[in-house]
Amino acid sequence: MSGTLVLVRHGQSEWNLKNLFTGWRDPGLTEQGHAEAKSAGAKLKARGMRFDIAFTSVLSRAQVTCQHILDAVGQGDLDTVRNLALNERDYGELSGLNKDDARAKWGEEQVHVWRRSYDVPPPGGESLRDTGARVWPYYMHDVQPHVLRGETVLVAAHGNSLRALIMALDGLSSEEVIKLELGTGVPVIYKLNADSTVASKEVLSH
């Protein structure tokens, strides 16, 4: 019995647009971000997708994206679980800073290391490995059992929390995962085998 897991990064946020490090700060979606989330929902509806349960983070940009998708498929009142395990990577002292200002303060090379290394956290924040250390157990314990029962599950979350999850699903190395780019509002559909391995993966690009 094959279950379906749909991962969606939230639509463009106000701070994505302004090129700011966001992390656990809570800006809303831009007009484009709302449109991206609704478009994701429309694509999933066109596939005849119906969800049994949805998971999202405690940050509004992911929650609103989740709601737009559920509204689009006609399931606006579906049971939705919110948990900070799915939150974006915490950027610590970088949160709220313009990426160019951060480069001016710490140097381009250091900021690049914080953004693109696997296990070097910014001051007071999390590395991608740290993010995975909270995402993976939550997925295994709370999300995956639904998929393995043959259910269709939506996870609306963030670039780095989903990157950490895809690393595990796709068996990516630490070098491969830091090159992985996830578009805002782009659904990634996994079919899982009964042993939790990936049977198929499809990206519904813009």
pLDDT value of residue 205: 87
Q: What's the average model confidence in pLDDT over 32-51? A: 98
For residue range 123-171, what is the model confidence (pLDDT) as tens digits? 999 999 999 999 999 999 999 999 999 999 999 999 999 999 999 999 9
pLDDT value of residue 62: 98
Report CA 74 to chain centroid distance, whole Å: 22
Catalytic annotation, pick one of 36, 68, 88, 146: 88
pLDDT value of residue 200: 97
| CA-based R_g, the chain, Å | 16
pLDDT value of residue 6: 98
pLDDT value of residue 1: 65
CB-based burial label for 172 (10 Å; 0-12, 13-18, 19+): middle
Report CA 203 to chain centroid distance, whole Å: 14
CB-based burial label for 137 (10 Å; 0-12, 13-18, 19+): exposed
For residue range 57-73, what is the model confidence (pLDDT) as tens digits? 999 999 999 999 999 99
Going along the chain from its start, the domains and CATH numbers come out as 3-148+159-203 (3.40.50.1240)
Per the annotation, the verdict on 176 as an active-site residue is: no
Q: What's the average model confidence in pLDDT over 103-116? A: 95
Q: What percent of the chain has pLDDT over 70?
A: 99
Catalytic annotation, pick one of 10, 68, 146, 158: 10
156 contacts: CB under 8 Å, gap ≥ 6 = 8, 10, 54, 55, 56, 57, 62, 63, 65, 66, 69
Residue 206: pLDDT above 80? no
145-162 in b/e form (b: 16+ CB < 10 A) is ebbbeeebbbbbbbbbbb
Per the annotation, the verdict on 88 as an active-site residue is: yes
DSSP 8-state assignment for residue 88: P
Whole-structure pTM value: 0.96
For residue range 71-84, what is the model confidence (pLDDT) as tens digits? 999 999 999 999 99
pLDDT value of residue 2: 81
Q: Minimal CA–CA distance to 164: which of 136, 185, 202?
A: 136
Residue 88: pLDDT above 80? yes
